Amino acid sequence: MLSSEVLSLIDQVNSGAKACQDENQNRDAQAELLATCRKLTAELESPFEAIRRFSFQPYETLALRIAIQLNLLDAIKDEDVTALGLATTTGADRLLIVRIMRVLCTMGVFTEKGVELYGAGRIALALRARPSLRDNVTTLFDFGLNAAAKLPSFLEKTSFANPTRDGSGLWQHAFNTPLDFWAWLEQDPERARAFHSSMVDRRHASADAAWFENYPVVANLCSTVPPASAEVLLVDVGGGWGQDLLAFASAHPSVPGRLILQDRAHALAEADRESLGRRRVEAIAHDFFDPQPVIGARAYYFHHIFHDWPDAECRTILQHTVAAMHPGGRSRLLIVEDVLPDVGVSSYLGLRDMHMMTLFGSMERNRGQWTELLGQEGLEVVKIWELGPKSESLIEAVLRQ
């Protein structure tokens, strides 16, 4: 017999499905419907089934990692392929292929068309269309899960102190290196390429709007910048290959002012200079632990930078930014990050916070933690703009008067 909770969730799923038909509400309504479906699944699953699922879940990531390693995504294109065919193409043992494919078919990556016969599923199609999504899986597995496996022994060693970067943190413990994550990344060009590529398509996995879709760009940033001006409109600090600035420039092709991309020289070396140039994005190597060389830009933009660093390092980066900002709201600080709610953090954000702990000894922050961190460096939060249901926000701050 179904419980009243389950019956009520089924009603909510039905009304959520109707809301999804309304085009104006589509994005939010779909996210809401998915959240209700997840609650329904959790309610239907017995505790034993849930515990078994948690215990075995890492093998799903493992199967996907191996599929990418064997290039199964390219091996199964428009035609269905047998396990023997895949073994011939990839050089792997047929029986190994069968065992990995069983799991991948249950995950919706591939579809089982018959005995040892496979076609591409919608997840395979998405992964094939966007190589950066494969890099996402690979880096999460190779960096994140390898380090995560060492977290219990590390916590034991540190008497269960909350991990913070100190040069002898989890990362160093897990990879037996004196280097921090970024220096370690730079030692291997393929590793670094995969990491920066994995940043490119992250927004496809979320229902969030881009920051410039919800923020009054023209009114708040460029209304007083003269056309064809040499003034700097936007500096994307730690902007990787320039993915966010490119998206901004295509949404606002005629905004006045210069667009500047900053990152470590190593990261910029792999960026597509031609695409950046076409969108008039200037790339400048800059370490954000050094003084900010661009003074008085209309906005200093940081996306997923501060969650990579513990408070002490964040304060140094902020000090350099504050020193470059003009007062009176003429320069603004724009930070796109997750702002955790005080209760009811989503599963994804809770997991991502643990990922930050594992890679960087850092964390995701709630509204109070953001306000305090920025306030310590003389910044005042003007507004926190929500970009999607329960996920990223744009924190807008100016120098305190």
- Interacting residues toward ligand SAM by CB under 6 A: 182, 199, 238-240, 243-244, 263-264, 267, 287-289, 303-305, 308
Quick one: 116 or 338, whose CB is closer to ligand SAM? 338
φ/ψ of 12, rounded to 5, equals -65, -35
Taking a C-beta distance cutoff of 8 angstroms, is the pair 101, 73 a contact?
no
- For ligand SAM, give the closer residue by CB, 128 or 193: 193
Closest approach, Cβ 381 to ligand SAM, in A, equals 20
Quote the least distance from Cβ 94 to ligand SAM, whole Å. Answer: 40
Tokens found for residue 292: 């900010």
Residue closer to ligand SAM (CB basis): 183 or 295: 183
Catalytic residue among 196, 304, 307, 355: 307
Read off the tokens for 63.
């199967």
Neighbouring CB atoms inside 10 A of 387's CB total 21
Q: Residue 263 Cβ, how far from ligand SAM at the closest point, in Å?
A: 5
What is the side-by-side order of every strand in the sheet holding 110-114? 81-82, 117-120, 110-114
Percent helix, percent strand, percent coil in the chain, to nearest 5: 55, 15, 30
Q: Which is nearer to ligand SAM, 39 or 203 (CB)?
A: 203
Report the C-alpha gap between 288 and 291 in whole angstroms: 7
List the structure tokens of 68.
Answer: 């990418």
Secondary structure of residue 68 in the 3-state scheme: helix
Residues 203, 207, 208, 213: is their CA dihedral positive or negative?
A: positive
- 330 forms bridges with which residues in the sheet? none
Q: How far is the CB of 289 from ligand SAM (least distance, A)?
A: 5
Measured between alpha carbons, how far is 249 from 247 in angstroms, rounded to an integer? 6
Residue 8: in which H helix or E strand, if any?
Answer: helix 4-21
Question: 305: closest CA among 297, 294, 314?
Answer: 314
Query: Distance (Å, rounded) from C-alpha 36 to C-alpha 34?
Result: 5
Sequence-ordered list of residues with C-beta below 8 angstroms from that of 378, at least 6 positions apart, any chain = 322, 399, 400
Q: How far is the CB of 218 from ligand SAM (least distance, A)?
A: 23
Q: Determine whether 266 is an active site residue.
A: no
What's the min distance (Å) between Cβ of 130 and ligand SAM? 14
Q: How far apart are CA 377 and CA 314, in angstroms?
A: 10
The 3-state secondary structure of 304-353, one letter per residue:
CCHHHCCHHHHHHHHHHHHHHCCCCCCCEEEEEEEEECCCCCCHHHHHHH
Rounded to the nearest whole angstrom, what is the least distance from the CB of residue 260 to ligand SAM in the complex?
13
Nearest distance from residue 119's CB to ligand SAM, in Å?
A: 33
Closest CB to ligand SAM among residues 182, 184: 182
**Chain center to CA of 378:** 28
- CB proximity list for 43: less than 8 A, separation 6 or greater: 3, 5, 6, 9
Which residue has the closest beta carbon to ligand SAM? 238
Catalytic positions, please? 307
